Amino acid sequence: MRESAENSPRFGDSKMQTPCGMILFAGMTQLDLTGPYEVLSRTPGVRVVLLGASRDAVRTEHGLMLTPELSFAESPGLDVLVVPGGWGVNDVLLDGRYLDFVSGAGSRARWVTSVCTGALLLGAAGLLRGYRATTHWGSVQFLAEFGAIPVSDERVVVDRNRITAAGVSAGIDFALLLASKLCDVPSAQQIQLGIEYDPAPPFPGGHPSSSSPEVVLAEERRMSAAMLKRAEIVRMAAQRMNAVG
């Protein structure tokens, strides 16, 4: 009974399990991580591990605290790397601890993935050069600075072993697809039934192409100052990436 409260702990030492590392940092969007976590932690054979620069708890964007299980230094080799996004990604785009870990783990992982603006960290770590990729609709324009080929009309983009998801809630769609690749389609569909993922948003919208122009304008206005700051940081991170080569 995978779901039972009487489960044995998932953190076994079995060598049969696929280690899937999810990165934590302050100011991240918690649903970028917790959405995929709900799917991947139910995927047979997958062992999810939450990783941070240290084991200190991080305050996510709107206050929820999340705690790494292991520091980067303690991380096992990863078959799957998952990088979430959020405004806090700005602070890690120039942080050597994050760049080094993501670049190293990503170069060895079987699947290198991101949700939302986690793609910017993959990019800054040099992992998206020449790859089709997506991110939150509001940040797609930054992908090219890292040598990626930006995709703005697909919710989940797969290019060889890179999988990048669009903003926040796209992480659930992404994780079901990833579960099907790590296991099989019927298992992914069983997880989808288990989390009753037959979505029915109460309102139309959720993407600039489906939301009303007034809603898109209001959201763009709300983000505009933060986007100017992000543009500056992305430029610096891209310079650094190109200097590292």
- Single out the catalytic residue among 116, 121, 133, 237: 116
Cα 66 to Cα 10: distance, rounded to the nearest angstrom: 18
Q: Which stretch binds its own copies (CB under 8 A): 73-81, 101-109, 119-127, 171-179?
A: 171-179
Cα 115 to Cα 127: distance, rounded to the nearest angstrom: 14
Give the strand pairing for 70-71 and 46-52. parallel
Residue whose token pair is 């062992």:
47
Q: How far is the CB of 136 from its own copies (least distance, A)?
A: 6
Among positions 93-112, residues that touch its own copies (CB under 8 A) are none
13 lies in the binding site for its own copies (CB under 8 A): no
DSSP string, 228-242: HHHHHHHHHHHHHHH
Residue 137's nearest CA partner among 152, 148, 120 is: 152
- Under DSSP, the state recorded for 44 is T
70 lies in the binding site for its own copies (CB under 8 A): no
186 lies in the binding site for its own copies (CB under 8 A): yes
Residue 23's nearest CA partner among 108, 62, 80 is: 80
Measured from the Cβ of residue 42, the count of other Cβ atoms closer than 10 Å reads 21
Residue type, 106: G
Q: How far is the CB of 126 from its own copies (least distance, A)?
A: 24
Any bridge partners for residue 114, and if so which?
83, 164
131 lies in the binding site for its own copies (CB under 8 A): no
44 lies in the binding site for its own copies (CB under 8 A): no
- Which residue, 29 or 131, has its beta carbon nearer to its own copies? 29
Q: Tell me which of 17, 26, 95, 183 binds its own copies, using CB under 8 A.
A: 26
Q: How far is the CB of 46 from its own copies (least distance, A)?
A: 10
Decide if 20 is catalytic: no
Note the residue count of the chain: 245
Q: How far is the CB of 201 from its own copies (least distance, A)?
A: 6
Among positions 192-231, residues that touch its own copies (CB under 8 A) are 192-203, 205-208, 210-212, 214-216, 218-219, 222-223, 225-226
Residues annotated as catalytic (active site), given as ranges: 116
